Structure 1
Amino acid sequence: MAKPLILVTNDDGITAPGLRSLIRFMSELGEVVVVAPDSPQSGMGHAITLDSTLYSTSLNIAPEDGAKQEYSCSGTPADCVKLGLQELLKRKPDICVSGINHGSNASINVIYSGTMSAAIEAGIEGVPAIGFSLCDYSWKADFEHAKPYIQQIVKQALHHQIPMGTVLNVNIPKNTDVGIKGIKVCRQAKANWKEKFDKRTNPMGKDYYWLTGEFELLDKGEDTDEWALANGYVSVVPTQFDLTAHHCIQQINTWNLNES
């Protein structure tokens, strides 16, 4: 049987160690084509490029990683997937994997994540997709302990097929002496960021701001991604991109919306 075609992308940029690790892991499972940003695009969410041109360059940064072909893209993670599916790949991939992100995309972070937005863009296009993140923000993070879990999840996704309209948000604990206990399928924890702006003034007298904040977990449940990660498990959250709050439709239909 032909090897599966795997589209690999990310938001940290084409030279990021997390991406290079994911390419190596996926090259053991199938034929890998990479389309990734030419510079870091963290926190871009689902932004796309509308008012400027996009550029793509064919390259091969590290042949030993095992990719059949690599392309850098001047746009966002969502742009990378759009361009890959519409222009660069010879056929529709069997799966798209995004990451490995340097840092958690659990709970509310999924909203801001370029890693997950790339996966969601693939899902919108009908391609099974998974976003992988490691809970370690270091550029020199150790990704090797994540390999068997990432490969197992991808193998199962290829075998069973991810339900249409759904992508998987996978977060992996950082490497510790304790190790990983296993994989848990979870719900997204309720959480937010308590944000503030650090206001400063430049030498020309112009004010500028740095966004800062603290993560606030509002959920004590033991079935969430945050609980799983805190207790040494890989978390897998099925994530849908239909944002309709279906449970509210009946209630809002009771409003007098058509009265003048």
Structure 2
Amino acid sequence: MTKHDKRPNILVVNDDGITAPGIKHLIEVAQELGRVVVVAPDGPQSGMGHAITIGKPLRFDPVDLYEGVEMYKCSGTPVDCVKLAVNKIFKGKKPDLCVSGINHGLNSSINVIYSGTMSAAVEGAIESIPSVGFSLDDFTQQADFSHCKTFVRKVCEQVLEHGLPERTLLNVNFPKGPGIKGLKICRQANAKWAEEFDERKDPYERPYYWLTGVFQNFDKGEDTDVWALDHGYASVVPVQFDLTAHHAIPILNSWNLSL
């Protein structure tokens, strides 16, 4: 085995699509650390959560966008991208790291539930691949991801060196603009969207709806991802895909469920 062969294999995915600016910056960092394989949706897939394609065929085709990078565009969801990469490209030999992003827009707090970016990373973790999702607090197409790269590299280096606890991945969010104060280990804030549906009429006077809403933070703790981002830090939240509410099991065991 050559020295090159010993470099870690890194799978890069996202939910904004293979041509999104954020993934370019993530690829550039990954290239510094190992051999890179990119599998990303052929178009935007934001808000897809952990959706998978089961009712129609999937396609993925090689593309040549960045020199020296093995890249594929996929017709499916971000989770489909990870599944295809593991099964058809790596053929069951797991990559050493899966990174997802860098997403346009935050995936802090409750956003982690809806995020295609984070669901791709979750799927990596389900496959026992050390996985990290990266997101930036900027929804614009002119978003500047360059100030995130030093921190992305540091997180990836540490994950490659130490691994991650079993069934755990990382959710990393960056504040907008330069001058990030550092990386802060946090918990997920207790916050949600107060949602509304803006009703409008099409030219035939039929109603249609746009989802809108206001983000509400109910959590005053100074150890949350929302607090960290509001104070200029990049938040690092360890996430698990075991959704069992373990604290509720003793309560339910006190119920009388006998028939």
2:122 is equivalent to residue 126 of structure 1: no
CA–CA separation in structure 2 for the residues paired with 1:196 and 1:173:
26
Once the 2 structures are TM-superposed, how far is the Cα of residue 139 of structure 1 from its aligned partner?
1.3
CA–CA separation in structure 1 for the residues paired with 2:15 and 2:205:
34
Query: Which whole-Å deviations, capped at 9, do the CAs of 1:220-257 have from their partners, x for residues lacking one?
Result: 10000011111111110000000000010010111111
2:145 is equivalent to residue 143 of structure 1: yes
Aligned residue for 1:107, secondary structure, equals: coil
CA–CA separation in structure 2 for the residues paired with 1:145 and 1:207:
43
Structure 2 residues without counterparts, runs of 5 or longer: none
Q: 1:116 aligns with which of 112, 115, 118?
A: 118
Once the 2 structures are TM-superposed, how far is the Cα of residue 120 of structure 1 from its aligned partner?
0.1
Aligned residue for 2:216, secondary structure, equals: strand
Once the 2 structures are TM-superposed, how far is the Cα of residue 146 of structure 1 from its aligned partner?
0.8
CA–CA separation in structure 2 for the residues paired with 1:104 and 1:61:
26
CA–CA separation in structure 2 for the residues paired with 1:186 and 1:60:
38
TM-score, scaled to structure 1: 0.96
Aligned to 1:83: 84
Aligned residue for 1:187, secondary structure, equals: coil
TM-score, scaled to structure 2: 0.96
CA–CA separation in structure 2 for the residues paired with 1:154 and 1:130:
8
Structure 1 residues without counterparts, runs of 5 or longer: none
2:189 is equivalent to residue 189 of structure 1: yes
CA–CA separation in structure 2 for the residues paired with 1:72 and 1:258:
53
Aligned to 2:212: 212
Q: How does 1:146-165 map to 2 (within 5 A)?
A: 146-165=148-167
Counterpart code for 1:86: N
Q: How does 1:1-260 map to 2 (within 5 A)?
A: 2-63=6-67, 66-67=68-69, 69-89=70-90, 91-176=93-178, 179-259=179-259
- The alignment-based identity, stated in percent, is 59
Aligned residue for 1:28, secondary structure, equals: helix
CA–CA separation in structure 1 for the residues paired with 2:37 and 2:140:
26
CA–CA separation in structure 2 for the residues paired with 1:83 and 1:200:
39
Aligned residue for 1:229, secondary structure, equals: helix
Alpha-carbon RMSD: 0.9
Aligned residue for 1:42, secondary structure, equals: coil
Counterpart code for 1:28: E
Aligned residue for 1:119, secondary structure, equals: helix
Counterpart code for 1:107: S
Aligned residues: 254
